[in-house]
Chains A and B, each alone.
Chain A
Amino acid sequence: MGLTARMAACAALIVAAAIVVAEAQAPARFGFGRPATPEEIKARDIDIMPDGTGLPPGRGTVSDGSALYAGKCARCHGPTGREGPNDVLVGREPREGFPFSANPKLRKSIGNYWPYASTVFDYVRRAMPPDAPGSLTDDEVYALVAFLLHQNELIAADAVMDAKTLPQVKMPAERYFVPDPRTVPGAAAKKPQE
């Protein structure tokens, strides 16, 4: 083997060794990406949790929500929230139990099926109305939530929704929901509460 060939073989070995070392010692961190600033997180973090975490300042009344609903929502959800053509939003039937599987005629609504009031705020703010998603102000969302909860007989006509009052609204359906033990650790122990 000539000098050049030997040098080449040597270099190949060194390269091979370097690759093996790199494979064997994947770092705990690669250092890719950059730190997110609190402002960047705040701008994107719009979710609301059942305990109210994430709810913004602001407030809305049932009557304000009624006017907004007529202008921005009734076209798809019906004049009172019961008529469609899109998702039914209002309705408390059945008053007893949770017989959705047994009775194909039952229509799911916020009042009889949604387990958490926080979800109404979260969803309306992020996705409604479909022709102008994300266009509602926080006060407008609070007002629409107030109107929808009132239509479902869950809050009084003079109730005001804000970051304090909204998480206190208990939904009738919550106790019927059971997490799947196959995917949720520890869920098997939980049974529907009466």
Chain B
Amino acid sequence: MKKVSRRKVLATAAGAVALGPAAAAAAAGQAAPDPTKVRGKPVRPVGQRSPYEKTQRWTRFGTSTGTPHEDLYGIITPSDLHFERHHGGVPDIDPATYTLLIHGMVERPTIFTLADLKRFPSTSRIQFLECSGNLGRTAGPETTPGQLAGLTSCSEWTGVPLATLFREVGASPKATWFLAEGSDAAVMTRSVPVSKAYDDAIIAYGQNGEAIRPEQGYPARLFLPGWEGNASVKWLRRIELSDRPFMTREETSKYTETFMDDTARMFSLVMDARSLITYPTYPKRVERGWIEMHGIAWSGNGRITRVDVSLDGGATWTAATLQDPVLPKAHTRFRHLFNWSGAETVIMSRAVDESGYMQPTRAELLNARGPGTQGYHLNPITGWVIRPDGVVVYKEEPWG
């Protein structure tokens, strides 16, 4: 017997009663032959995507999801498609009982409620958040941009500058580090240089115009623009100021990179410049003629100043067009028009930021980090192959 979901039955029945058969068909995503001859649907308090849009994040191990960059436009990632990486699941926190404690090397250890945080002068900035483990190193040809590098997303974040709170509690000028601690089951902790607080760190409670999502740290999180996502501790419950780093598990045994000179780099928090072509890419198929390539570029060092694209596997490069707005520490959209002859073509992109940093080649990264490196802070130039039949695949390059 074919299984029919209860929800579907109910939806169909309700639609038939309320709207008539034609409108009910539309509600289920089956368009009427002529939409001008059928009254459309009434309003609803919360909107939804078109039933024809099936875009979704990939999910892995129940602990992470990735943004489907191949399906998106512009620079803002829809909040419900923002990537996730959780270490103890997503906690359910009541905003009415939420508190943030700031203590340690401060004159006045203080507890703030969410309402307290919202009373302070606020700021909003469009900035990316990227997990430092954002490269599918073993990706095969049938890999989408989201599967390759979906652990970056870009939002407008609203909150209170951490500098405002540090002045409020009388942070000691001798404090050089602070611990940020979450109230998830991992009780996530990271040490952060205090200088970041006086630069651009915020306690965020808003994302893309609404309260931040539970998966993004509801009701309040630390947000460190341009720095590795793990340090932007979600569900923030405590900040302790100190004159030393705390050496938590994440910043010692995990988010560190080994080098060929027998060292491991710690507190490598800046996300270096990177670019990602999002079209044409797998699983799209293209036709001969004009194609507008597009993609995103970003840098934790500030603004993207240039994105070069190559149509010959990296032999020659041309500057792509940067789409306004070009904001510091934000996804920047680039595009480049080209006329595809039908011959096999390898397309690539590389980003340059305002510090002069240029996205490295895979060989350059491999020379420094070696075949044994873990997957943190790997931002190589990547490419896509347009086959003569128009099928586009990821240019597979195994690590090591």
Contact = CB atoms under 8 A, between A and B. Distances in A.
Do A and B pair up? The answer is yes
Interface in B83-136: 87-88, 101-103, 108-113, 116, 119-121
B269 interface: yes
Nearest to A110: B253
Given A98-B263, A102-B372, A33 B179 contact: no
A47 B266 contact: no
B238 interface: yes
Nearest to A28: B167
Given A33-B110, A97-B262, A118 B247 contact: yes
A45 B262 contact: no
Contact of A127 (B187, B240, B270): B187
Contacts of A115: 247, 252
A104 B181 CA distance: 32
B264 A178 contact: yes
Contacts, number: 168
A29 B167 CA distance: 7
Nearest to B164: A30
Size bin of chain A's contact surface: 35 or more
A95 interface: no
B268 to A, nearest CB: 4
A45 B268 CA distance: 26
A157 interface: no
Contacts of A119: 247-249, 252-253
A34 interface: yes
B181 A47 contact: yes
Contact of A36 (B103, B168, B227): B103
B263 A102 contact: no
Interface in A16-73: 26, 28-30, 32-36, 40-41, 44-47, 49-50
A152 to B, nearest CB: 13
Contacts of B247: 49-50, 115-116, 118-119
Nearest to B238: A44
Interface in B357-385: 369-374
The listed residue with most A CB atoms (<10 A of its CB), out of B111, B119, B176, B270, is B111
Contacts of A183: 193, 196, 227, 267-270
A6 interface: no
A50 B245 CA distance: 9
B11 interface: no
A182 B120 CA distance: 30
A181 to B, nearest CB: 9
B344 to A, nearest CB: 32
A6 B196 CA distance: 50
A184 B187 contact: no
A155 interface: no
A23 B120 CA distance: 13
Q: Tell me what chain B mostly uses at the interface: helix, strand, loop, or mixed.
A: mixed
B260 interface: yes
B193 A185 contact: yes
Size bin of chain B's contact surface: 35 or more
B256 interface: yes
A101 B370 CA distance: 5
A101 B373 contact: yes
Contacts of A178: 263-266
Contacts of B168: 29-30, 32-33
A99 B247 CA distance: 22
A113 interface: yes
B238 A45 contact: yes
A192 B372 contact: no
A105 B237 CA distance: 39
A106 B372 contact: yes
B356 to A, nearest CB: 14
Contacts of A130: 88, 185
Nearest to A175: B263
A103 B389 CA distance: 40
Nearest to A46: B187
Interface string B168-207: 1100000010010100011101000101100000000000
Contacts of A32: 112, 116, 119-120, 168
A81 B256 CA distance: 22
Contact of A102 (B111, B240, B260): B260
Nearest to B170: A29
A113 B249 CA distance: 11
A118 B253 CA distance: 12
Interface string B225-255: 0010000000001101010101111001100
B359 to A, nearest CB: 17
Interface string A57-95: 000000000000000000000000000000000000000
The listed residue with most B CB atoms (<10 A of its CB), out of A36, A102, A134, A180, is A36
Interface of B: 87-88, 101-103, 108-113, 116, 119-121, 167-169, 176, 179, 181, 185-187, 189, 193, 195-196, 227, 237-238, 240, 242, 244, 246-249, 252-253, 256, 258-260, 262-270, 369-374, 400
5 contacts: A32-B168, A41-B103, A110-B253, A122-B246, A177-B264
